[in-house]
Amino acid sequence: MESLRTGTPKSIFEWIAEIAEAYRDAEEAIPFGPVTGQTIEEKDLFHFAPSVCLKFRGIKRTKRNLKKATDAALSSYVASKNSVGHILDDPHISFAFCYLASHFALDLVDEKEINEIMEHIEAHRGELAEAISKNV
């Protein structure tokens, strides 16, 4: 799935549609796990969020850019996992969280916007799940 964006989504519903597409993009890695000696499960897809963020924003995948996005996503995930509990056990939510954290690290969105999007996604979890299940 090739996708390049010229700008970040403008509404929560555009974000949901993009996160769903990004999630499906990350899912494409699952069958290749055995080739690399890894087992990739749906619960592991949040690890791919920083790479997909770079891809979707058309940002060059340099070591520096990938490290910046990955460090922010995974450190935020670990820091939040204890405070928010089981919500990050949902693969869709954990992917969305890391995808948005990657955008924040790259100065593409601000904290207020991330909080609004995540609050909506958490309150309306079915919307993201439905968007992911649609293969558009």
Give residue 42's domain range. 12-133
CA distances 134 to 27, 127, 128, Å, are: 13, 11, 10
pLDDT at 134: 87
Asked if residue 6 is part of any domain, the answer here is: no
pLDDT at 34: 82
Other Cβ atoms within 10 Å of 31 Cβ, number: 9
Asked if residue 91 is part of any domain, the answer here is: yes
136/33 Cα distance (integer angstroms): 24
31/116 Cα distance (integer angstroms): 34
Asked if residue 93 is part of any domain, the answer here is: yes
38/49 Cα distance (integer angstroms): 18
Asked if residue 20 is part of any domain, the answer here is: yes
User: Using an 8 Å Cβ cutoff, are 105 and 72 in contact?
Assistant: yes
Asked if residue 4 is part of any domain, the answer here is: no
71 CB burial (10 A radius; 0-12, 13-18, 19+): middle
pLDDT at 21: 96
71/39 Cα distance (integer angstroms): 22
Domain count, the chain: 1
pLDDT at 33: 78
pLDDT at 78: 87
* Per-residue pLDDT tens listing for the chain (136 residues): 344 556 899 999 999 999 999 999 999 988 887 888 888 888 999 999 999 999 999 999 999 999 999 999 998 988 888 777 788 889 999 999 999 999 999 999 999 999 999 999 999 989 999 999 986 5
User: Using an 8 Å Cβ cutoff, are 48 and 26 in contact?
Assistant: yes
pLDDT at 55: 96
